[in-house]
Amino acid sequence: MSTPKLGNGIHRPDTCRHYNKLGDVPWDIQKQIFRYWHQRNTIFSKYDEGVWLTDDAWFGVTPEPVALKIAHHLSVHAPADHDILVDAFAGAGGNTIAFALSGRWRRIIAIEKDADVLECAKQNARVYGVYDKIEWIQGDCFRDLDPLLEGLKERCTIFASPPWGGPTYRSANVFDLSTMEPYSLKTLYEGLSQTSTALALYLPRTSDLRQIAEIVTGEDKINVIHYCVGGASKAICAFFGALSQDA
């Protein structure tokens, strides 16, 4: 993989791109990116200041107004003694940046499996002036979080915006969370709730709410919020554990 040097010590992997106009997007993926291209300044208000995205990252980014709302919600509703925020699927950084901008957290840990997508997140954090407020980890949240947070579980809030198996999630009227690829709701919940007493999952707006309700036992409560842009729901966020109190 070649990594052009930008003259300031920053390397940009070939797959991390900033398109100045739709015509710069390779023709074979223009159709795939078209709908998101027109929302680029909603996705990142500073898009024009040098935001990088891989061609597959466009559809998974949380639009900035939604990311800011979620960050505010976690700032207010996370237990007062939680001072660590983990973004378990950091992607191109939309949520991580909003968490850093909130100023609420002593530590923010951003984990992303894909090295190039993580480079996009780092660049985008530079654009927003919050790069230094974030700990960047290239890794697998199910494997790498536990050792990293040993002894810190009681101080840690986890936000996870996992892959939903791509934009085809839209073809189902009610999205079956047990078939979500590569991680089902059950896998996500069981894996991540081991690591923290406060968990937020960002899921398709059409998610089957009964499946979310079934995930907890007894008297445990879950709060689910729709996040909208321009009056239309973009996605839901399900708040578990300590985050489900007082919402």
The amino acid at residue 75 is: S
Cβ-proximal residues to 9 (8 Å cutoff; 6+ apart), any chain: none
Strand partners, 86: 109, 158
Please, are residues 133 and 99 in contact by the beta-carbon 8 Å criterion? no
Look at residues 125, 58, 80 and name the one whose alpha carbon lies nearest to residue 98.
125
Distance from C-alpha of 63 to C-alpha of 71, rounded to nearest angstrom: 12
58: which DSSP letter? G
Nearest residue (CB) to ligand MGP, 40 versus 104:
40
Closest distance between ligand MGP and the C-beta of residue 104, in Å? 21
Closest distance between ligand MGP and the C-beta of residue 91, in Å? 7
Nearest residue (CB) to ligand MGP, 34 versus 49:
34
Nearest residue (CB) to ligand MGP, 80 versus 232:
232
Nearest residue (CB) to ligand MGP, 203 versus 242:
203
Nearest residue (CB) to ligand MGP, 156 versus 203:
203
Closest distance between ligand MGP and the C-beta of residue 15, in Å? 18
Closest distance between ligand MGP and the C-beta of residue 200, in Å? 12
Distance from C-alpha of 119 to C-alpha of 112, rounded to nearest angstrom: 10
The neighbour count for residue 43, using CB atoms within 10 Å, is 23
- Total number of residues shown for the chain: 247
Nearest residue (CB) to ligand MGP, 156 versus 201:
201
Closest distance between ligand MGP and the C-beta of residue 172, in Å? 12
Look at residues 142, 148, 149, 237 and name the one whose alpha carbon lies nearest to residue 188.
142
Site residues, ligand MGP (CB under 6 A): 35, 59-60, 62-63, 161-164, 166-167, 169-170, 202, 232, 234-235
Look at residues 189, 99, 81 and name the one whose alpha carbon lies nearest to residue 135.
99
Closest distance between ligand MGP and the C-beta of residue 153, in Å? 24
